[in-house]
Amino acid sequence: MSFFSGTRKYPKISLLSALIMASLSAGFYSRADADESIKFNTDVLDVNDLGNISLDQFSHARYSMPGDYTFSVRVNRQAPDSEHNITYYPDTEDKNNSLVCVPKEVVHEFGLKEKYFNQLTWLAVPEDPPGNHQN
């Protein structure tokens, strides 16, 4: 069986094969980028006290600053009914990381099968979440 067919000058591959190749190559490149640190040009910041500002945390891939964020959860391209407050906490074991806390009611919207939902680990959250400090 020939890889080429008829008068076509390009190989026949299935849509599934093309998608697999695309996802594998995208995963390779995104993984390579994830290990590299990010550099910031602090000259563009308009601040007087630049010496007391550290952007080191943001040089790590996938780092999110601890605090409260509003998200819309979209599952299988379904439009979300509402927005949710999601909190990122500082990781006590790794200062270069933050941990996201997704409430159970939001995770239910993901449509996980019950056996997988029951395998999730739920962590205790601090009394005073980041972003909720009162001075």
Domain residue extents for the chain: 64-117
Looking at per-residue pLDDT, the higher value among 16 and 114 belongs to: 114
Would you state the pLDDT for residue 30? Answer: 44
- How large is the average pLDDT for residues 93-107? 83
Question: Residue 75 in contact with residue 52, Cβ under 8 Å?
Answer: no
Instruction: Tell me how far apart the alpha carbons of residues 129 and 100 are, in angstroms, rounded to a whole number.
Output: 11
pLDDT digits (tens, 9 = 90+) for 4-36: 445 555 555 556 555 565 655 544 444 444 455
pLDDT digits (tens, 9 = 90+) for 56-76: 666 666 677 888 988 887 777
